[in-house]
């Protein structure tokens, strides 16, 4: 324990404050390292989730120790308040993102499988065999899960379009590419009029992998898009699956609006100011006559008529 001597008395430094700062720094570093190793290296998702939990608990412990040291400093007349405040600040910086997602865990239902048609869930063909052995099993949603989804995300449902199934499939395929999903299966609509796309997507910060299946079903005049997004790990998706489905539908809608706008622009006449049937004036000849009048000061003679 550090001791500072003066002419009259000695002042002790609260060791708890120093240790709180050290603990906060250590667990912030562990938190950042865990994110980087999982996002860009080969750290497994279960190990990353365990390390994240340990880091969060450690940061809360650092805050608790820092507050305890502040109380001791206040009543005991010791030094180290700056160390305690630094520990609290560092821990709160490390907890900023976890606390943000904690708010989603509180406000969103505990679901990890969202689909536009819970009563008729889409079945994976390829991705079901590519999921790790310790991943969540893919099950058909029960009535309770479907009710929770309906209450939390009432706007999640199939997207019906007055377009042919092949055209809608192309729109969805382009939207998936723009969103940066990794396509594992792409089957355009055949004679059955049913096409499907299976793809994976990774969350922005941690890089958790989720699986999606998109089905396009229709004929030459109408088509319907159904989507299912499933998390591989965790009981709570923090709203990520519903958000992902919404982004896909937004991309498809934007592509439709852009295509309709292009068609309208191509259909408009290029020269709106020229009425149909009106002859265009010979600007070159008029300019030549005006130059001749300016040089001689006289009107140019009328053109000679042929004897015919």
How far is the C-alpha of 55 from the C-alpha of 30, rounded, in Å? 6
| Superfamily designation of domain 113-265 | Kinase associated domain 1, KA1 (3.30.310.80)
Q: What share of the chain is helix, strand, coil (3-state, %, to 5)?
A: 50, 15, 35
**Domain spans in the chain, listed from the N-terminal domain onward:** 10-107, 113-265
Question: Could you tell me which residues come within 8 angstroms of residue 99 by beta carbon, excluding any fewer than 6 positions away?
Answer: none
pLDDT tens for the 308 residues of the chain, in order: 455 444 455 567 788 999 999 999 999 999 999 999 999 998 999 999 999 999 999 999 999 999 999 998 888 878 889 999 999 999 999 999 999 998 999 999 999 999 999 999 999 999 999 999 999 999 998 999 999 999 999 999 999 999 999 999 999 999 999 999 999 999 999 888 999 999 999 998 999 999 999 999 999 999 999 999 999 999 999 999 999 999 999 999 999 998 766 655 666 655 545 444 444 445 445 555 555 555 555 555 555 544 44
Tokens of 4: 């500072």
Is residue 210 within 8 Å of 241, Cβ to Cβ? yes
SS3 57: helix
3-state secondary structure of 230: strand
How many CB atoms neighbour CB 307 within 10 A? 4
- Number of alpha carbons in the 13 Å side-chain half-sphere of residue 136: 19
């Amino acid at each position: 324990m550090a001791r500072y001597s003066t002419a009259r008395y000695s002042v002790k430094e609260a060791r708890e404050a120093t240790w709180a700062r050290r603990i906060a720094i250590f667990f912030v570093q562990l938190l950042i390292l865990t994110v980087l190793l999982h996002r860009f290296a080969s750290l497994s998702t279960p190990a990353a989730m365990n390390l994240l939990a340990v880091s969060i608990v450690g940061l809360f412990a650092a805050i608790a120790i820092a507050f305890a040291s502040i109380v001791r400093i206040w009543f005991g007349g010791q030094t180290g308040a700056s160390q305690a405040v630094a520990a609290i600040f560092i821990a709160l910086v490390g907890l900023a993102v976890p606390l943000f997602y904690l708010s989603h865990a509180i406000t969103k239902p505990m679901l990890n499988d969202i689909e536009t048609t819970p009563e008729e869930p889409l079945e994976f063909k390829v991705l079901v065999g590519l999921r790790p052995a310790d991943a969540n099993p893919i099950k058909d949603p029960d009535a309770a899960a479907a009710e929770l989804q309906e209450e939390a995300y009432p706007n999640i449902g199939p997207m019906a379009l007055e377009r042919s199934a092949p055209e809608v499939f192309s729109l969805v395929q382009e939207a998936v590419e723009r969103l940066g999903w990794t396509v594992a299966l792409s089957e355009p609509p055949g004679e059955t009029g049913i096409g499907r796309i299976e793809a994976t997507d990774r969350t922005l910060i941690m890089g958790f992998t989720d699986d999606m299946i998109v089905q396009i079903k229709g004929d030459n005049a109408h088509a319907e898009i159904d989507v299912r997004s499933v998390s591989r790990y965790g009981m709570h998706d923090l709203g990520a699956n519903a958000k992902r489905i919404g982004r896909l539908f937004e991309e498809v809608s934007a592509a439709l609006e852009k295509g309709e706008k292009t068609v309208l622009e191509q259909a408009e006449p290029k020269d709106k100011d020229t009425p149909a049937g009106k002859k265009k004036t010979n600007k070159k000849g008029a300019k030549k006559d005006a130059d001749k009048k300016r040089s001689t000061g006289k009107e140019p003679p009328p053109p000679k008529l042929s004897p015919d």
